[in-house]
Each structure stands twice: as C-alpha cells, then as structure tokens.
Structure 1
Amino acid sequence: MSGEARPLRVLFVCTRNRLRSPTAEALFRTHPGWEVASAGTARDANTPLTRDLLEWADVAVCMEKGHRDWIRPKIKGALSDDRLLTLGIPDEYEFMDPDLVTLLERLVPPRLAGKAPR
C-alpha cells in the first residue's frame, strides 16, 4: 500500500451539462488532489446525473439551489447534505466564458478546502 491519499472526487452539476458544469470540469481537471466529473439534472443532459455518479463523488458541487433540491429526493442517501454544495451560479454563461471561469476560480477552491474523501 502506497500510503498516498486518494484524490477528492468532485462532481459538478448543472441542468443540461453543456455549459457551466463542463466548464468547471475542464477548469479543475488538473487541480492537484482532485478528480473531477460533471453531469446534468435534465433528461437530455450530455451526461445525465445518476446514482452511480453521486456514489462515486465525495462532493457534488451544484451550480444552483434547484440542482441540489432535485438531487435530494430522487437520489436519497447517495451523498449527505454536507457533501451537496451550491454555488449560486445562474444559467447565463457560455462554455468557458471568462466571467464564469473567474466565478468558479473564486468560489470552488474555498468551498472544497478541508473536504476529504469519504
């Protein structure tokens, strides 16, 4: 056994998995100590959110409160409430929009500081 800690698995969630969560996934793909993925809550999302993805994740970072609220009843028990984070980023950005990148860089690392793999 190497003794190295497993990376923190972070799942970014938005509605259709086309703009906000894929931007976050691309932005933080090389962040040291994190393994990232993204998914969407809509049926037609590029990568639909599933129980398997939530069970893989240590933390789900939701772009809006509505995403967290969608997860709670549908996929009960996959992640505890303290592992469902909300950023409050509205659906008004394009993929890799510089303003979105700035928001994500400012909001995500502090919210994940101190979170350890479960």
Structure 2
Amino acid sequence: MSRPNILVICGRNKRRSRTAEHIFKNDFRFNIRSAGLSPQSNRKISENDLNWADLVLVMETDQKTKIRKVYQHLELPAIEVLEIADDYEFMDEELVDTLKVKMNALLALNYEL
C-alpha cells in the first residue's frame, strides 16, 4: 500500500493541527496536511483536502460533526477524534508529546504503521 494521506484539523490551523503537521511532515509512513475549520484559519479546509485524505484527524468531537454537516455531499474518509483541547500554543512540549502518542496509536490501529 502507498503511504496514506492524513489530514489534521483544528479550529484555526494556528496551533494544534499546525503542530501535528510540523512534527510529522518528514515521517516516511504517511503524508500529512493540516487545515482549520474557521474562516480565519491560516489554511482553511477544502473539498480538495477531504478528497485527498485517507484519514481525517480532528481535535474535538464538534469538529467532526461540523465536517460531516458542511461536506455531507462528499464521500468522506474516516474521521477520528483526538480529544485535544485548545489549551496549547504552537509546538508546546506537552502538545507535541500528546500528538505523538495519540496519532501513533491511531495510525497503528488504522494502518498498522
């Protein structure tokens, strides 16, 4: 199987999802991209992102609900919730550790990576 495409989403793509993309951008196991749901996002989620993704990782349950509602006309990839609150700054050490643990566990479960 080729490397899966992982899309990581948070509210504004300023801290959590951007940190995830930054720490995993050179990971040989998968391709990664990040975006935000808010119109004020550094990089706003698009239909192209969702069509590209094999797996979408969101930080909060309501983000999963919003994606399903806004993009209900698309055949969406699996969406998993990481349950990481918006309590961190970009590249916060605790955020980095939490993302590594949670994302590696989900990738092992979904792709045996």
State whether structure 2 residue 75 is matched by structure 1 residue 78. yes
Give the aligned residue type for 2:57: V
Task: Tell me how far apart the structure 1 counterparts of residues 57 and 25 of structure 2 sit (CA, whole Å).
Answer: 14
Would you say 1:110 and 2:88 are equivalent positions?
Answer: no
Partner of 1:37: 33
SS of residue in 2 equivalent to 1:39 = strand
Instruction: Give the equivalent residue in structure 2 for 1:20.
Output: 16
Give how far 1:73 is off: 1.0
Q: Is the 8 A contact 1:14 1:62 kept in 2?
A: yes
Of 79, 84, 91, the match for 1:89: 84
Gaps of 5+ in 2: none
With the length of structure 2 as denominator, give the TM-score of the two structures: 0.91
For residues 73 and 113 of structure 1, the distance between their equivalents in structure 2, rounded to whole angstroms, comes to: 28
Deviation by residue 1:31-88 (Cα, 9 ceiling, x = unmatched): 22210000000011111011110110000000111110110011123314xx100001
Distance in 2 between residues matched to 1:78 and 1:26, nearest whole Å: 27
Q: Distance in 1 between matches of 2:51 and 2:110?
A: 16
Unaligned runs of 5+ in 1: none
Secondary structure of 2:110 counterpart: coil
TM-score, reference length from structure 1: 0.88
Structure 1 consecutive aligned stretches of length 4 or more whose deviation exceeds 2 Å: none
Secondary structure of residue in 1 paired with 2:45: coil
The root-mean-square deviation of aligned C-alpha atoms, in Å, is 1.2
Aligned equivalents of 1:19, 1:89: Cα separation in 2 = 11
How many pairs were matched up?
110
1:41–1:103 Cα change, 3 Å: same
**Residues 51 and 78 of structure 1 are in contact (CA less than 8 Å); yes or no, is this contact kept in structure 2?**
no
